[in-house]
Structure 1
Amino acid sequence: MTGSATYQSVFLRDLRLSTAHSLVTQSGAPGQGLPNETPTRYLQALIDGLCELSLRDPLTGLANRRHFRSVLEREVDRMARSGEAALLLMLDIDHFKKINDTHGHIAGDMVLQSVARTLLGCVRPMDTLARYGGEEFAIVLPSCQATYGRAIAERIREAVESTMIRVSPALALNVSVSIGGAYALQWIRSTTQLWIERADNQLYQAKSAGRNRICIEEQPDSTVSAEEKSMLFGPLSTYYPPADVDRSTVPLADASGRHTGR
């Protein structure tokens, strides 16, 4: 808004809110309605509800791809600043097309919902679990050290494999998942697309190797030493003489700070 913008009252009766109202109320808990004490509270609750719907997958209730990508962008930025490890897991339900073809799409939807609930029971509150698309899911795990990544992925794989999914009174199914993973590059401002591609490549390898297994990319050694951090974040005056000093008389320094002469 600019300084010259004018404000005027808006009456709810002049807005077409019936569709938005239905979407928000139908997606909430039974009996939970929008507040109606004041028009402002009602409208704010309606806007908040629509924002929440725009970030959720309607079938599983998980974060959707839009929300997932925004979380991934923040995590890449945090990684570049802090250097803490973070793991991205991409998961795909094995032979899902066969489930749809054999038992129907309703059974397929029930499988997706069941797997989503199982995955929710395997992640921490700080993790982000999303339905990436179709039968594929994604999990962003901040502060996940390389020594624990494979164990976490194996626990997820076992949990899905051991869960019986009842799709009708006479039919129960078991499914498995293939999992690919990649760590964010520490101290490097990479891109979300590159991170996804690296994890997706590992998922492809897991499926090519027979499915129902895990492939996690080896994390490169990106440890930054104390001396390197000092060079990256220390004051420039440590390495560069003031502007009024004849630089030809100042000895050079190597990466460790030792003078090397000319």
Structure 2
Amino acid sequence: MVSKVVGLGVLLLVALITLAGLLAISSQQVARSFTWVEHTQLVLRAAAEPVDLVRQVESDVRGIVLSGDRPNAYASTPLLKRASRQLDDLVRLTVDNPAQHERAKALQRALERRIAFLSATLAVGSGPLGDDSSAATSKRRTAEARRLMADVDQLRDALIAAEKRLLVQRSNEAAQKLRFNERLLLIGVPIIALVTAFLIYLIIQAIRRPTRALEEAMAAMSLGGRAERLDENTMRSREFTRIALGYNAMISRLEEAAASQVRSEQTLQALNCELSEHSAALEVRNQAIERLGMMAHRMQAARTDGELAEVVCRFLPQILPGMSGAVYAHNNSRNLLVQIATWGAPFDAADRFSPDECWALRLGQGHEQSTDKLDVTCKHVDGRPSYHCEPLLAGGEVIGLLYLDQIIPSDMQFRLRAVAEDISSALVNHRLQRDLREQTIRDPLTSLFNRRYLEEALNTEVARSIRSKEPVTVIMCDVDHFKRFNDEFGHDAGDYVLKAIASTLQSHFRGGDIVCRYGGEEFTVVAPASTPEAMLVRVENLRASINSMQLRFSGQALGSLSASFGMASLVATTEMEGATLVQAADEALYRAKREGRNRVIVAE
């Protein structure tokens, strides 16, 4: 648009300059025409005034001649000089026109002759003017004067007529030039005005449409609508095309910035969600760690297998939610894994199995099976679609197994490792505690409970019997002639006899009965919730079994074997302390000894 405006502006400027130039030239020509008109008028005056002055002098001379007033003759001399000067001016004024110049010089010569004639007439002589003249001379001079004046008038009239023709011609030229100026103004000014109006119209039209498009686009953008692109091909000018390109580029950058902002907001939202998820996961992890700590603390404090199983069943559903499983530990012989705890939904889990039946125990690392059955399946798992076995290790030694009925997700692997470590540590600690306790309550030779444990357990059973009104029976057993085995066969043979009797005792009593080595060759049995009558039958069977034993040690027969028994019972109608009950059974034992041994005596 700038180029168009500049082009039209240059055109307008050229038109204005042309008009102004034409007007200036025409004005100069008009001025020159009027100058020539004035020049012609000056020529006319210069041609007329000398003649008029000469006529005036001629009239004065005629009066002087008639009056004879000589002093007045001198007054006409300046007029003649003035006429001469004006003639000089006339000749000078007609220099530009050769024809008129010749006429002016001819007129000058004629007037000079007439002035000379007048001067001669006015010349001062010796006598009066009337004396110098005769009538004939006067007539002759008058005729000469008339002739000279007629020549002057003829020459003046010819010059004036020619000059008037020039005046008319120059006046017409000036008028023509004035009319040309008028036409130039009447035509040029409207044309320039129309060109200016057209230029303004073009500028307005060139600005209005792209401006309106830009305003509409800006209004749409300000109202929050989608910013439309401007069509660069309809801008009609390079400037508005550049503006449209800049606007479109700005819209593109704004859209890119808005998209970037949206992406940033989405990223921030995603990061916020991720942070929230991480925070939630961290909170869940912290809760799991807290539960792991609580479980580990309680497992370390557990005293029995039952307490350990209760802790596992209580906390593992919280640490491994939605999963079921079981914990296995080695038996004393370490040839079987025995189930010590289960939790979660009921499922078929083996109570016990051989270590060779589990791939995790073979490999010494976790083993799992998915639903697609890509790996080998453990034999102790009965048709489970998926499972996970985690060996419980302590110091590189397998001490148990953690079994789960499904695969562990990756985000819960740390829980599995922590649970396995805590349970392994608890099992080791529990086994150590159990071994230590066994050492304190077990007889190292026979593996029966010792007298210390008897005292603790007896008081507990007596108190329970009193509360539940159920009987409890104490049996004291003494091996008859035990010293003979030591003396004849040695102490090793005596130990062998004690072990055999201990084994027989354990085989004749229930799992809930307490079989102890009281000291030396004496044994004690506490049988809760058993009537004296039923217990008497059992003790008699035990006595008969011992009496029928045929023991051999180092290839030698040890001979006959017998034992004496004393039995005392606490029934619902009686109350006594545990020591009193033992004392009663011991007294019954001594009665059996005194009465011949190999018998059972019931305390009264």
Q: TM-score, normalised by structure 2?
A: 0.30
1:102 is the counterpart of 2:488? yes
| Preserved CA contact (<8 Å) 2:476 2:589 | yes
| Preserved CA contact (<8 Å) 1:160 1:176 | yes
- Counterpart of 2:431 in structure 1 is 45
The DSSP-based 3-state class of the residue aligned with 1:210 is coil
* Cα displacement string for residues 154-205 of structure 1 (whole angstroms, at most 9, x for unaligned residues): 1110011111111121324331000001012535542211111100000000
> Deviation at 1:140?
0.8
The DSSP-based 3-state class of the residue aligned with 1:62 is coil
> Deviation at 1:31?
8.3
When the two chains are superposed, the root-mean-square deviation of aligned CA atoms in Å is 2.2
Cα distance in 1 for residues equivalent to 2:552 and 2:562:
15
The one of 448, 452, 455 aligned to 1:66: 452
Listed as ranges, the matches of 1:115-194 within 5 Å are 115-186=501-572, 188-194=574-580
The one of 91, 108, 127 aligned to 2:477: 91
Structure 1: runs of 5+ lacking an equivalent:
1-27, 219-262
- Counterpart of 1:258 in structure 2 is none
> Deviation at 1:82?
1.6
> Deviation at 1:40?
3.2
Q: Which has the larger radius of gyration?
A: 2
> Deviation at 1:90?
0.1
Instruction: Give aligned-pair identity as a percent.
Output: 36
1:79 to 1:43, Cα distance in 2 relative to 1, 3 A: closer
| Preserved CA contact (<8 Å) 2:563 2:598 | yes
Cα distance in 2 for residues equivalent to 1:181 and 1:63:
19
1:36 is the counterpart of 2:394? yes
- Counterpart of 1:24 in structure 2 is none
| Preserved CA contact (<8 Å) 1:35 1:45 | no
Instruction: Identify, as 1 or 2, the structure richer in helix.
Output: 2
Listed as ranges, the matches of 1:222-237 within 5 Å are none
| Preserved CA contact (<8 Å) 1:92 1:135 | yes
* Cα displacement string for residues 43-76 of structure 1 (whole angstroms, at most 9, x for unaligned residues): 3432232122211110001111111111111111
1:204 to 1:43, Cα distance in 2 relative to 1, 3 A: same
Deviation beyond 6 Å, 4+ runs, structure 1: none
> Deviation at 1:150?
2.1
Cα distance in 1 for residues equivalent to 2:556 and 2:530:
41
Cα distance in 1 for residues equivalent to 2:501 and 2:533:
26
* Cα displacement string for residues 17-36 of structure 1 (whole angstroms, at most 9, x for unaligned residues): xxxxxxxxxxx64789x951
2:452 maps to amino acid: R
Number of residue equivalences:
190
1:99 to 1:35, Cα distance in 2 relative to 1, 3 A: farther
1:54 is the counterpart of 2:440? yes
- Which stretch of structure 1 is more off in the superposition, 143-152 or 196-205? 143-152
Structure 2: runs of 5+ lacking an equivalent:
1-331, 337-391, 396-420
The one of 440, 446, 466 aligned to 1:80: 466
| Preserved CA contact (<8 Å) 1:119 1:160 | no
Listed as ranges, the matches of 1:220-259 within 5 Å are none
2:563 maps to amino acid: V
Cα distance in 1 for residues equivalent to 2:535 and 2:507:
17
1:210 to 1:35, Cα distance in 2 relative to 1, 3 A: farther
- Using CA pairs under 8 Å that are at least 6 residues apart, name the structure with larger relative contact order, 1 or 2: 1
| Preserved CA contact (<8 Å) 1:89 1:181 | yes
1:150 to 1:48, Cα distance in 2 relative to 1, 3 A: closer
Cα distance in 2 for residues equivalent to 1:96 and 1:182:
24
